[in-house]
Amino acid sequence: MPRVNRLDYVGALGRVERTPQGGLRVPAAVTRAGVLRYKDSSGREWGELRPPEEVFSEDSLATLRGAPVTDLHPSELVTPATHKSLAVGHVHDSIAVEAPLVVATLTVADAGELALVESGDRKEVSCGYTCEVEPTAGVYEGEHYDGIQRSIRYNHVGLGPAGWGRGGPDVSLRMDGAAVQVPRVAPPRSTRMKTLKVKGREYKLDADGEVTAAQDAVTAVESEAASTAAELGAVKNALMEALKTVAGLEARLAAAESAEEKPVTEDMVPEAVADSIAQKRVELVGRARRVLGDDARFDGKSSDEIRRAVIAKAAPTVKLDGLSGEVITGMFEALTASNTALAAAHQAAVGDPNTRSDGKDPSREMSERTAARWQQPLTVSPRKG
């Protein structure tokens, strides 16, 4: 919102006192909350609300403390460059709120202005200030307004004659080049119409029928609010229960994920199982030594690794990659059979080794044939039906 300049009219000066330096100390109401009326050069007129929360805010009142006092309203804002030529006094730091008014004490020190005050030619007070106008319409204390003044910042306090701003050339003084204030003549308080706004509708509280309608509207709003509050409470309770359930599940999941598996110990293995495992290991190692020799080491090696080592030595030309565990076990069993069984197999497969004339080792040849036979697919003769 752009900032604009405004002039407001409050009323007459209070009791005047002489200062030790010969000036005048003047208590006065310098500004107020409420609706002010404005008009431009084309005759268009509108109202602007000065809300109490804006008029009485400390940020706004702080700009009144020490503000210069001027004769009438100058054609420009008072600045350090113009202060000497425009200021005839100043506002004291003691600012008080007497709603809807703001009161302060002014000191007038200029000789020419003192003469005007003492002669009665300067009796009324009007503030010059800047503000932001919010384009929001409404009704305040029965009076319509077209905008709301925000961020009020005072520049000076002007002194003028009786009736100042109500007509004549003084009213035409313009701080923003467009609008000047037309002082509001407030109606007697007893004739002001009180209004109440409920869900966007305004009710006149001085009319019996409208008062009843307003009461009904307020009751309906209260009932609706109570129902909404009950629904909200139920939703909150359900949500809390759901959150408790989620928290419980998360705790159980975290406990399950963090639980460490217990290491397997000898005490956990039944004796019968342990004896069987030991017996099978001894038998496996004994068979392996028949091929690998008595000095072979088997510590830390799995059963599959031992079997593959035996086959690799007994049948080095056989490729073991891709062979299943069952094939490896069968080949190992064949290659590590007892000496008597192995000799019989040799005799059946290659004949008496003493009669061989080709120089080949019949034991190795038999092992390689056995390994090759284990790699051949199993064929099944068709059943005769």
Better-scored residue on pLDDT, 2 or 340: 2
Q: What is the pLDDT of residue 233?
A: 87
Reply yes or no on whether the pLDDT at 189 is more than 60: no
- Cβ proximity of 129 and 158 under 8 Å: no
For the chain, the maximum distance between any two Cα atoms, rounded to a whole number of angstroms, is: 159
Backbone angles phi, psi at 249, to 5 degrees: -65, -40
Reply yes or no on whether the pLDDT at 361 is more than 90: no
Residue with tokens 């963090």: 258
- Cβ proximity of 77 and 101 under 8 Å: no
- Cβ proximity of 288 and 298 under 8 Å: yes
6 vs 180: CA distance, rounded Å: 7
Reply yes or no on whether the pLDDT at 163 is more than 90: no
348 vs 366: CA distance, rounded Å: 10
Per-residue pLDDT band for 354 (boundaries 50, 70, 90) equals very low
Reply yes or no on whether the pLDDT at 223 is more than 90: no
Q: What is the pLDDT of residue 63?
A: 97
Alpha helices in 293-381 (DSSP H): 303-314, 325-335, 339-350, 362-375
Residue with tokens 């009485």: 56
Computed over every residue of the chain, the mean pLDDT equals 77
Better-scored residue on pLDDT, 225 or 60: 60
pTM score:
0.44
The three-point CA angle 248-250-253 to 5° equals 110
Per-residue pLDDT band for 332 (boundaries 50, 70, 90) equals confident
334 vs 197: CA distance, rounded Å: 104
- Cβ proximity of 307 and 329 under 8 Å: yes
Residue with tokens 């000076």: 156
**3-state DSSP assignment of residue 354:** helix
- Cβ proximity of 153 and 60 under 8 Å: yes
**3-state DSSP assignment of residue 112:** helix
| The most confident of 6-15, 123-132, 183-192, 257-266, by mean pLDDT | 123-132
Reply yes or no on whether the pLDDT at 33 is more than 80: yes
Reply yes or no on whether the pLDDT at 215 is more than 90: no
Mean pLDDT over residues 9-22, rounded?
A: 70
Dihedral Cα 154, 160, 165, 167, nearest 10 deg: -160
Backbone angles phi, psi at 96, to 5 degrees: -130, 150
Q: Can the peptide bond before residue 100 be classed as cis, meaning omega within 30 degrees of 0? A: yes
Per-residue pLDDT band for 256 (boundaries 50, 70, 90) equals confident
